[in-house]
Amino acid sequence: MNLLRAVNASLLKLAGWGTIFFMGIIAVVIPYEVFGRYVIKSMSVWSGEVSTFSLAWATMLGGAVGLRRGYQVAMTAVVDAVPPGLGRLLRGAGILFMLCFLAAMTWYGAVQTLVNFDQTSPAMGIPMGYPYACLPVGFFVMFMLTLEQALLFFGTKPPKETEA
Amino acid sequence: MIAVFLAAFVVLLSLGTPIAVGLGGSAMIYLLFNPDIELTILPQTIFGGMTSFPLLAIPLFMLAGNLMNEGGLTEDLVRFARLVIGHIRGGLGHATVIACAIFAAISGSAVATAVAIGMIMIPAMKREGFDEDLGAAITATAACMGPIIPPSIPFILYGVIANVSIGALFLGGVIPGLILGFGLMVYTGHEARRRRYRVHRKASYREMLAGGWKALPALFMPVIIMGGILGGAFTPTEAAGVTCVYAALIGVFVYRRLKLKSIPRVLLASGLESAMIMLLLGLSEPFAWIVAADRIPQLMIDAISGLSTSPWVILLLVNIILLVIGIPIETAPAIVITAPILAPMAAQLGIDPIHMGIVVCFNLVLGLITPPVGGVLFAVCGVSGLSLEKLSAAVWKPFWIALAVLLLITYIPRLSTFLPGLFMPGIR
């Protein structure tokens, strides 16, 4: 568990810096496009691809960091409304499903990434595997964070209900 | 198959999984029951959903709002609003509404508006004798102008999903947003008279001019955004990018409160806020695809047509359904879930797509202040220190005003379509 925690802390740090990096690219490239059009009178062919691919990366990495920081909205009305025992059961089932879903997305995302290394982007001509790689990477970080959450959830006893 | 798909979605939401996982997970379960379609289609559609150029406006407008806050522009805006209108009865409440309206013309988010303005105005209103719950309730409701007055994150989302011009939706939100602001000012004036609040001295023209001069860089931002879009100088995405540069430059060089070392923190905060919405959008793409493939909008139309064929009755039903959906679900996921169903429905029923977009977004934004749960309610509780119970009790009256405005824009489509028709006549 300690090892998993340490690995996840490093993954979160990397994902955080990755989010900052790709957000920085978006914040520079889009205004540059306007600058290029009106000031230096030259249109760049790469700006659309660089910014949208950066958006995909910033979304997947930022989504992973946001998962840990509670940014991902959920509807907890049902699990909060039912008796605590049933609520814990439902939450546990939710965490297990998330693990399965994120594992599947990591796997199929990796398959899709490998397939797309054979294709090139229309404007820049780079292998499409590079932008697609944000999916397995982002889903993998989310999987690791959810695994830690699952171990914590299933490893601790539920708080005893206070007797009336 | 539709039953399995919808049941999976409802069950996953009930398990308390993030809504993004509920959307993607229900699509995965649907595909598992459909062996003809390979699961690799999921990452493919998710990637497609995240890589659209208009969507770049979302992180950029979030960044612009955060840069503006960090650069200290908000304080000057609020000071200016107080100087202009602070002297009439309930002046600080009116100033809050006006400050929210101006901030809304720069930021596209209600929570950002509530936090930025509430942090300054709620303590100020309390100091000057305003009842704390009234001040907080006015701030919370006025913050809903954030995503109605352009720019607007919900309009960008709706525009991309429903294939409606984002610029036209931005314009369509101006009049409904201003009507909401006006309604709130009438309410504030009424409450101030009823509670016999003090009247403050009027600021001299010299003070107003000085305040206006200091706030000018911030007041100029909406001109860049809407002027640039309407003048055809740039797209909404480019307007957002230019706004970021402008906010950063005046934060560093004019106000000198934005430090270079705080830029990574601002970028990360904006990245996390936008990733929340973008991830939802990406994972909703397979969901929307299944909704379309299984002709769910058509089934909904058939079901509703059984009740009535009048677009006005249908709009009323849609409003009621959306208000209920908006209580437990935040605006962005609610738009992501409902737009793929409602947009084709509007097209079939002959409802103007811009009108439908404004009604849907306005309605779902109200979910942010519908007690007992709502992003803006939580944000205002955080900045005011008021309990959720107290704020929930106080917010009902201004909420009814917002609801009246919703009915008004539902049944007078010209309020939403007049400005787009005037400035962008070719777009429908």
Is the same domain home to B31 and B141?
no
For B329, nearest residue in chain A (alpha carbons): A75
Domain that holds residue A26: 2-154
* B417 and B283 both lie in a single domain: yes
> Does any domain span residue B20?
yes
B342 residue type, one letter? L
Residues B34 and B60 grouped into a single domain: no
pTM for this prediction: 0.85
In a domain, A164, yes or no: no
Range of the domain at B8: 1-39
Best A21, A23, A146 member to test B by mutation, with max B CBs in 10 Å, is: A23
Q: Which residues of A touch B16 (CB under 8 A)?
A: 74-76, 78-79, 90-91, 94
Residues of A in Cβ contact (< 8 Å) with B19: 72-75
Mutate to test the interface with B, among A21, A26, A33 (most CBs of B within 10 A): A26
Q: Assess whether B281 and B332 both reside in one domain.
A: yes
B6-13: list long-range contacts, CB under 8 Å, 24+ apart: B9/B287, B12/A94, B12/A97, B13/A74, B13/A75, B13/A78
314-353 in chain B: CB under 8 A from chain A: 328-330, 332-333
| Alpha-carbon span B34 to B13, nearest angstrom | 22
Q: Are B71 and B149 members of one domain?
A: yes
Number of domains in chain A: 1
Residues B22 and B128 in one domain: no
Domain co-membership, B24 together with B81: no
Same domain, B29 and B62: no
Residue A53 lies in a domain: yes
CB–CB of B39/B28 below 8 Å? yes
Q: Which residues on B lie below 8 Å from A48 (Cβ)?
A: 53
Mutate to test the interface with A, among B12, B15, B56 (most CBs of A within 10 A): B15
In this structure, chain B runs to a length of 428
pLDDT values of chain B reduced to their tens digit, one per residue, 428 residues = 778 888 999 999 899 899 899 999 999 999 999 888 889 999 999 999 899 888 999 999 889 888 888 887 778 888 888 888 888 888 889 989 998 988 888 777 788 888 888 888 888 888 878 899 999 999 999 999 988 999 899 999 999 999 999 999 999 999 999 999 999 999 999 999 999 888 878 889 899 999 999 888 888 888 888 888 888 888 889 999 999 999 999 889 888 888 989 999 999 999 998 998 899 889 988 888 888 888 787 787 778 778 887 888 989 999 998 998 888 777 888 898 889 889 988 888 889 999 999 999 999 999 889 887 778 888 898 888 888 889 989 999 999 999 999 999 999 999 999 999 998 887 65
- On whether residue A122 sits in a domain, the answer given is yes
Asked whether residue B293 is domain-assigned, the answer is yes
Whether residue B396 contacts residue B151, with contact meaning beta carbons closer than 8 Å, is answered with: no
What are the residues facing B18 on neighbouring strands? A74
Q: Based on the structure, what is the number of domains in chain B?
A: 2
Chain B partners within 8 Å of A63 (Cβ): 20, 275-276, 278-279
Instruction: List, as ranges, residues 9-68 from A with C-beta within 8 Å of B.
Output: 16, 19-20, 22-24, 26-27, 30-31, 33-34, 38, 48, 51-53, 55-56, 58-63, 65-67
**Distances, alpha carbon B196 to alpha carbons B133, B134, B203, in Å:** 16, 13, 21
Judge whether A51 lies within some domain.
Answer: yes
Question: Does residue B318 share a domain with residue B178?
Answer: yes
Co-location of B218 and B263 in the same domain: yes
Q: What's the token pair of residue B167?
A: 């610029």
| Contact residues for A163 (Cβ-Cβ < 8 A; gap 6+) | none
Please tell me the distance from the alpha carbon of residue B185 to that of residue B93, in angstroms, as a whole number. 8
CA distance A128 to chain B (A): 11
Q: Scanning every residue of chain A, which has its alpha carbon at the shortest distance from the alpha carbon of B24?
A: A101
| Exposed/middle/buried for residue B186 (C-beta within 10 Å: 0-12, 13-18, 19+) | exposed
